[in-house]
Amino acid sequence: MQGSIPILRIGKTLITTVHVELRDDVAQAFQSDVLATIEKTGASGLVMDISALDTVDTYVARILAETGRMAKLMGTTSVLVGMRPEVASTLVQMGYTMDGVLTALNLESGLRLLGQQLVTVAK
Amino acid sequence: MPVNVLQRHELKIDCEDDVVLVRRKVKAIAQERRFDTFAVAAVTTATSELTRNAWAHGGGGVAIVDVVTDGSRIGIQVAFRDQGPGIPDLARVFAGGYSTARSLGLGLSGSRRLVDEFSIDSETGRGTTITITKWKPF
């Protein structure tokens, strides 16, 4: 599909980098792809990297937050990483909070956070 | 102070892809006019919300993107005009209590907080025009 978002698997973790501006239909397809890939691979963790996005409106924010919550229902912990300062500022000003989604500054700290979360869950 | 229009672009809002096209145009103009990254994100995001509303709730329409000046500041002014059903209960929309499948309430009330000026003219059965302005000093 044109503009689709690749999903990489490393061990039990899925990493997806949203590298293009998300059209509404692509955002919707992204959500379905991620959930289908979780089912197929049995991934225990999901990292969504949005550092390439310089604008995130409430539609895309909702898709991302929903994807995280859906993954959680399936038993997969997810972390949203790399939100740019101007995106964070815009979302908060609009009154949009990404409830129920773990966040980290960048991919590296996101993977670390995911590791900690999964250790806690395993205990 | 009177506002002069320096540049005008009229873009149609006919399909989902136009949400991307309109916001790209506004972003390009904001960058070209050297708005800071926070202001670019704010006006681009508000544009995205309001274009989507015009398409999803208003059945499409036009976005008129103006570069304006009041003599001491330069501004980006965008008017989103649709011929949709109108918004029957504006107060409720802005209270954030209005929720539809595509979150009309959050998009409208959120957009208002991202820009310097926001006006709405909606008549039931006639359509809605929303105008936003984001300013920066010269």
Domain ranges of chain A: 7-105
Question: Which value does ipTM take for this structure?
Answer: 0.88
Map residue B134 onto helix, strand or coil.
Answer: strand
Average pLDDT of chain B is 90
| Topology (CATH) of B4-137 | Heat Shock Protein 90 (3.30.565)
Q: In which residue are the tokens 């959930």 written?
A: A35
List the Cα angle A34/A19/A97 in 5-degree steps: 65
- pLDDT of B101 above 70: no
- pLDDT of B70 above 50: yes
A21 or A2: which carries more pLDDT confidence? A21
Check A87 against B42: CB less than 8 A apart.
no
Q: Please state which of the ranges A71-80, B90-99, B108-117 shows the lowest mean pLDDT.
A: B90-99
Model confidence at B55, pLDDT cuts 50, 70, 90, reads very high
Q: Which candidate, A50, A49, A40, A54, places its Cα nearest to that of A89?
A: A54
CATH number of A7-105: 3.30.750.24
pTM comes to 0.90
Give pLDDT, residue B133. 98
| Residue B123 DSSP label | E
User: Which of A23, A24, A53, A57 is the best residue to mutate to test the B interface, defined by the most B CB atoms within 10 Å of its own CB?
Assistant: A57
Cβ–Cβ pairs < 8 A, chains A and B? 73
Dump pLDDT digits (tens) for A70-114: 999 999 999 999 999 999 999 999 988 887 789 999 999 999 999
B44 Cα to chain A: minimum distance (Å): 7
Domain ranges of chain B: 4-137
Give the separation between CA B116 and CA B111, rounded to whole angstroms: 10
Nearest to B107 among A21, A58, A84 (CB): A58
